[in-house]
A and B are shown apart, each in its own frame.
Chain A
């Protein structure tokens, strides 16, 4: 009945037993692996709160069947950096105080980190366009843009 799906999560092999291989990856990461840095926002791929990296690309984990992650390299916010070794985007979010409730911040950071990996010297407008499908309700937008630009400056 159940199926075991093997993937690499934050650099380690992870096996997840699922009764339904179509269960979105979000639930496998949050509930089976305890990676609660990503958040359920809409389940529709509209808001970005659940963003993770799949083989280095930003992806909405609420839309990905767990089975489709088999053999893939998944990175979550927890695997992006640590207080001791922060990813530049994480360090910049702290420096710019670019968080209010923070429910969207995880997705913002993951989206921005994947973006900067490909576009290391973006303009502010490019950052805004990149984040057009990441919703924030608290109004942290100006600080988020400042943080991504700070991270890009290195």
Chain B
């Protein structure tokens, strides 16, 4: 049976990809609603080949500025034996790409890339079979070069075999992939395809999209998060030219104007009478608030022996509490989206990390079938999780519906800092018992995080306007890495899942695993100090022998950092400037990427100022597709998390967020970024795991442990501000 069929609908979809750009931007015509397979078990959902042999890859995972687009191209080029230059990628378009779930969890390569690889390998095998028939040669005797299948002096190209037609074939997850020794593209650093356009100002972000007849909208958010707009005075906009409409529904208020500047002025000038609301907890008492929040569910994530009894029977007992502040995604670019209705069909362009989910959420909010909504991904500023992109899409959809013209919404800085969903407050209580040899007899960890599973975060516009929404709490932080892989006779780790949390929660890079690893690895350091043991040796003593890759990561980072074996803290703590080093290790979610790190710090005793002077990291994510891309992700993880750990903390009063700009929500600056030494451990024969998150998990504890080594003071509360350290130094 010939697996290749000509499908008119598919050709239409293909044609839609190359229609003239209406305004010189990316070829994503709203009219392109033609059928194309999008089921994730269809090869045609992932791949098409046109009559010239150009390969288009369709992926549900999107490039959030991480470079994964280039890695997808490498994977397709490798398995199909075509040059990368012949591959283009379409990401996160609900009409064209398979639903591969949200782009989160460090899973784009591990899941999305592996699925694409299977589709490409399946296609290659089929092309070889077809070529074998055509050339009357067994497939095993054929070779593939540059998109052509060759038997001696005869050849047939992919374009000749399937060009312009749909590939009607089921994905075979077991189709043979290229063995490591045969790879020519994958596993080698490839320059990112997006960088030249970004460097010359030719890249088209969602922020740059223009549609014919497009208007500009801005939401007007309430000054108190739960307030309702009781009255809106449209006359207050009398002097602003080009105001088209004020939209008001419950707590949702928005303005639409002909020009962006008029929309901004109108949003600032609009007089609204807001109801009063003061439902946020007092920031100074946030941890009391967390402890007083009702527990909806108790989740034991690991249990061995009777940890409580083991601790109570130990000659030495340690107890500590670790907390991690509420964070904003604080993206560089305020969230943006464009919404356009054509009849009853809505197209939304956004930088959503989950366009397939957003489609359902928008349909629910608007009370229409999901089939009436198309969501198209375009890159925005890095989001590091579910930030405001989806909410800007909802704002744009409501405003576009009200005015019947396309509307672009870009938030202002205060909207972004104030209204993106937040990484929730995270609290971990730890206890351990230690025997006379310094061994841990029992370990108890109790974490307090919101209930729920990683679903959708409700759209702010739907909440404010009381429109239909899922009303399911998303936990933001998740339970992983509270359980650990160290050998101890008795362990119990428990997550207390809270009924509520003060701010709409969502995930921010390495959610939960970062906070849990911070608590676990810093408290383990406390145990090592109590035992008078070297922190690297102590970890190696506790890591099972069969954990060879983890042990290697740890041993290699110690060598990389020229680690001197001794216990912490360092002895001479009399000087004005104290120096120390700290080590940390994690096996991400206990099933994938291994990371180990050493941080070196300098602490100024008189001011409490903390400077991270050097950072060493070893990283084993199995097979690497684009090693330089992995390196960039590891660097980004370290710098981003240093920012979070040293500086970032949301501030708020009883009504709303008060850290609404970069002055009140400071982040890391160039002079504060340390030199980094990163060693990537390449394992081309292993499966590929994620690199977008794991290296972030090890940063908080590495820095905390280094501060302890320098000063003898343990920082257990993120961010590690000079004020906190100074207070601790004075108390020590």
Q: Contact check: which of A77, A94, A134, A138 meets B195 at CB < 8 Å? A: A94
B200 with A90: CB separation less than 8 A: yes
Give the chain B neighbours of A1 by CB distance below 8 A: 241
User: A5-39 vs B: 1/0 string, CB under 8 Å?
Assistant: 00000000000000110011001001100111111
A75 vs B164: C-alpha distance in the bound complex, in angstroms?
44
A100 with B333: CB separation less than 8 A: no
A78 with B201: CB separation less than 8 A: yes
CB of B568 to closest CB in A, whole Å? 27
Q: Does any Cβ of A come within 8 Å of B536's Cβ?
A: no
A42 with B382: CB separation less than 8 A: no
CB of B639 to closest CB in A, whole Å? 3
Q: Does any Cβ of B come within 8 Å of A74's Cβ?
A: no
**Interface window among A53-61, A104-112, A115-123:** A104-112
Give the chain A neighbours of B669 by CB distance below 8 A: 132-133, 135
Q: Does any Cβ of B come within 8 Å of A128's Cβ?
A: yes
A94 vs B262: C-alpha distance in the bound complex, in angstroms?
37
Q: Contact check: which of A104, A129, A132, A144 meets B332 at CB < 8 Å? A: A104
Give the chain B neighbours of A144 by CB distance below 8 A: 670
B65 with A27: CB separation less than 8 A: no
Instruction: Report the interface size class on chain B.
Output: 35 or more
A23 with B261: CB separation less than 8 A: yes
**When A128-B671, A138-B382 are in contact, do A100 and B65 touch as well, CB less than 8 Å?**
yes
CB of A108 to closest CB in B, whole Å? 10
A50 vs B472: C-alpha distance in the bound complex, in angstroms?
38
**When A40-B410, A100-B636, A139-B640 are in contact, do A49 and B662 touch as well, CB less than 8 Å?**
no
Q: Give the total number of A-B pairs whose CB atoms are below 8 A apart.
A: 176
Residue of A nearest to B673 (CB): A141
CB of B646 to closest CB in A, whole Å? 13
The listed residue with most A CB atoms (<10 A of its CB), out of B198, B207, B667, is B198
Q: Does any Cβ of B come within 8 Å of A149's Cβ?
A: no
A93 with B663: CB separation less than 8 A: no
A83 with B332: CB separation less than 8 A: no
B195 with A97: CB separation less than 8 A: yes
CB of B392 to closest CB in A, whole Å? 13
Q: Does any Cβ of B come within 8 Å of A154's Cβ?
A: no
B379 with A101: CB separation less than 8 A: yes
CB of A131 to closest CB in B, whole Å? 5
Give the chain B neighbours of A42 by CB distance below 8 A: 413, 661-662
Q: Contact check: which of A19, A82, A100 meets B382 at CB < 8 Å? A: A100
Q: Does any Cβ of A come within 8 Å of B726's Cβ?
A: no
A49 vs B382: C-alpha distance in the bound complex, in angstroms?
13
Q: Contact check: which of B64, B203, B208, B636 meets A140 at CB < 8 Å? A: B636
A31 with B260: CB separation less than 8 A: yes
**When A39-B333, A131-B670, A132-B671 are in contact, do A105 and B640 touch as well, CB less than 8 Å?**
no
A139 with B261: CB separation less than 8 A: no
A80 vs B196: C-alpha distance in the bound complex, in angstroms?
13
A93 vs B637: C-alpha distance in the bound complex, in angstroms?
20
A31 vs B24: C-alpha distance in the bound complex, in angstroms?
14
A134 vs B378: C-alpha distance in the bound complex, in angstroms?
24
The listed residue with most A CB atoms (<10 A of its CB), out of B259, B638, B670, is B670
Q: Does any Cβ of A come within 8 Å of B331's Cβ?
A: yes
Q: Contact check: which of B196, B632, B638, B667 meets A94 at CB < 8 Å? A: B196
**When A23-B261, A105-B198, A131-B670 are in contact, do A143 and B632 touch as well, CB less than 8 Å?**
yes
A144 vs B66: C-alpha distance in the bound complex, in angstroms?
16
6 contacts between A and B (CB under 8 A): A36-B201, A43-B413, A49-B333, A76-B201, A102-B203, A129-B670
Residues of chain B whose beta carbon lies under 8 Å from any beta carbon of chain A: 24, 64-67, 191-192, 194-196, 198-205, 207-208, 241-242, 259-262, 265, 330-334, 379-382, 384, 410, 412-413, 628, 632, 635-640, 643, 661-663, 667-671, 673, 675-676
Task: List 10 extra interface pairs beyond A36-B201, A105-B198, CB under 8 A.
Answer: A19-B259, A41-B333, A77-B201, A97-B191, A99-B195, A102-B198, A129-B671, A135-B662, A137-B667, A139-B639
Q: Which 9 A-B pairs have the closest CB atoms?
A: A37-B201, A101-B65, A139-B639, A139-B636, A102-B198, A101-B382, A77-B201, A103-B381, A36-B208
